[in-house]
Each structure stands twice: as structure tokens, then as C-alpha cells.
């Protein structure tokens, strides 16, 4: 069996959904939003319509958390919710068809900084740097034809439920899902035009930390793929993890699971005990 492991190249696009949201090509400029300018639902792109839904359905619950611990618990729970996984797959499909929005790292940083405020500039700059790196790596992987439909699990929800998927790979996908969820929390706050009250800065910090930690996990996976050419120093290199080893592990475990399934099916049909020869 030759299971071709592949990074979901559209994940990088999904992780930039928040920047796409505030891009002037998609919505009125921030100053116009502050005048409560309305965008007709009929004029919205499918991307923005999907993000509005995701922000309301999945980002909103994060804003109702009463402590950082509760917010993190809600994020952990929602990131594994089948409804959120389905939404993430749907958003990824939409982004595949949407025209790319070209924004430099500086533009991303300036846009997010203007939206979130100067206090969060260091985290915003880190966010922009990670996104720029993820986009560049995804482009190089695409050029190198690393992506393939023969991937054992073709969506994020399939990956995290695939018993054969390497733990390192699953953790990276879970990180990307959690990062996207925390972005939806920020988007939800943006749509509500809510101000961060004194004493509640922890909520903004927790959401930004969730975005950054998830992006970092995702880039740690990209960093083990030589063709991605992730620069040194962007993220820590996972010691002892190689792309070839991940491919081999996924293949070997999947083969064993397939053999076990076949043995169980044969035993069920024949009435024999497949474990009779075991000590």
C-alpha cells in the first residue's frame, strides 16, 4: 500500500480567513464599518457568508466564557465538535474556489493591528509572520506536487478520526482547527463591534494565544517537509521526526488495521476464531 501523505494546502488559506474578512475587497473598510455601514447578504461572497455563520455559531460561545480556563475548555470541546469539523471542511471547499487575496506580511500586520489595537501588536506581528510563512510553504509544496488525492484521509475531520494517522500529524491538524476556531472568536467580537472591557483583556489574549499556538503546531508539521523550505527559527524543529517516517508510519499502521479488519470479516463469515493461535 502506498498511502501518499499530504498536507492540506488549503489549510493555509483557511488560517488567513480572518484577514480575508477585513480585506477591503471583501467588506467595506473598517472606518465604514464603524459608521455601521451594512453589507447586503445578497452582495456577500460565499466566503464571507460562511465566516459570518461560523463566527456566530462557533466563535460566539468563546466570547461567553467567564475565565481563560473556561474559554480554553470550550475551544477544546468545539474543535472536536462534528458540526465545527463539517463547517471547517465546508469553508475549505469554498476557499478552494475563491480568488486568492494577495496581502504582504506588512499589510496583514497593519490590518490586524488596526482592528485589534496597538496593545496586541507583538502577537499580531507574530501572527502575520506565521501566516506569511504558511502561505509560502504551501505554495512551494504545490509547486513540488506534494499534495495528492491519494492521501489516506482527505479532510481534517477524517484525519483526526483516522486510527492510522501519526500522532504528530493529528496534533498539527488539531492545532490548525483550534487556531481557526479562535479566529472565529475574534471575528465574532468584530461583528458585534464589542469593546474589550477593563479587566477582560484576558479574553483577547487567550484568543490570540490560541491562534498562535495552533498556527505554530501546523508549521511544525510543514517544517519536517523539505520541499516546504520553512526557514530556521520560525518554529522549533521536531526532534527525530521526518516526513519519510510519517509516511512510513501511516502506511504500516493502516496496513495492519486493514489486515485486522480482513481477518475479523473472514472470522465472522466462517465462524472461526481469528485469535485461536494466540498464546
Q: What is the pLDDT of residues 85-136, one digit of tens each?
A: 999 888 878 777 776 666 677 777 777 777 777 888 899 889 888 888 887 8
Q: What is the pLDDT of residues 195-206, one digit of tens each?
A: 666 677 899 999
In a domain, 218, yes or no: yes
d(CA 182, CA 58): 9
In a domain, 87, yes or no: yes
In a domain, 194, yes or no: yes
In a domain, 193, yes or no: yes
In a domain, 1, yes or no: no
Tally the domains of the chain. 1
d(CA 14, CA 95): 7
Residue 88 domain boundaries: 10-270
In a domain, 32, yes or no: yes
In a domain, 248, yes or no: yes
pLDDT at 10 (0 to 100): 43
In a domain, 279, yes or no: no
Query: b/e string for 129-156 if b means 16 or more Cβ within 10 A?
Result: ebbbbbbbbbebbeeeebbeeebbbebb
d(CA 237, CA 234): 9
Amino acid at each position: 500500500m502506498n498511502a501518499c501523505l499530504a498536507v492540506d494546502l488549503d489549510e493555509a488559506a483557511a488560517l488567513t480567513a480572518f484577514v480575508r474578512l477585513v480585506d477591503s475587497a471583501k467588506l467595506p473598510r473598517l472606518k465604514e464599518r464603524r459608521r455601521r455601514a451594512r453589507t447586503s447578504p445578497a452582495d456577500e461572497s460565499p466566503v464571507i457568508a460562511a465566516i459570518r455563520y461560523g463566527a456566530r455559531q462557533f466563535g460566539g460561545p468563546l466570547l461567553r466564557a467567564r475565565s481563560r480556563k473556561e474559554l480554553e475548555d470550550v475551544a477544546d470541546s468545539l474543535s472536536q465538535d462534528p458540526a465545527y469539523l463539517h463547517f471547517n471542511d465546508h469553508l475549505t471547499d469554498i476557499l478552494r474556489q475563491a480568488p486568492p487575496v494577495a496581502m504582504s506580511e506588512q499589510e496583514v500586520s497593519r490590518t490586524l493591528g488596526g482592528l485589534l489595537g496597538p496593545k496586541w501588536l507583538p502577537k499580531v506581528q507574530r501572527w502575520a509572520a506565521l501566516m506569511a510563512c504558511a502561505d509560502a510553504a504551501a505554495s512551494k509544496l504545490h509547486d513540488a506536487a506534494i499534495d495528492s488525492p491519494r492521501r489516506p484521509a482527505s479532510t481534517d475531520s477524517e484525519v483526526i478520526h483516522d486510527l492510522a494517522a501519526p500522532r504528530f500529524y493529528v496534533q498539527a491538524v488539531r492545532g490548525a482547527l483550534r487556531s481557526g476556531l479562535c479566529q472565529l472568536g475574534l471575528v465574532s467580537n468584530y461583528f458585534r463591534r464589542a469593546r474589550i472591557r477593563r479587566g477582560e483583556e484576558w479574553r483577547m489574549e487567550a484568543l490570540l494565544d490560541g491562534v498562535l499556538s495552533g498556527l505554530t503546531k501546523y508549521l511544525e508539521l510543514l517544517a519536517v517537509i523539505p520541499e516546504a523550505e520553512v526557514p530556521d527559527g520560525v518554529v522549533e524543529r521536531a526532534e527525530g521526526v521526518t516526513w519519510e517516517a510519517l509516511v512510513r508510519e501511516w502506511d504500516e499502521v493502516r496496513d495492519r488495521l486493514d489486515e485486522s479488519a480482513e481477518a475479523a470479516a473472514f472470522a465472522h463469515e466462517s465462524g472461526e476464531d481469528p485469535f485461536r493461535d494466540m498464546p
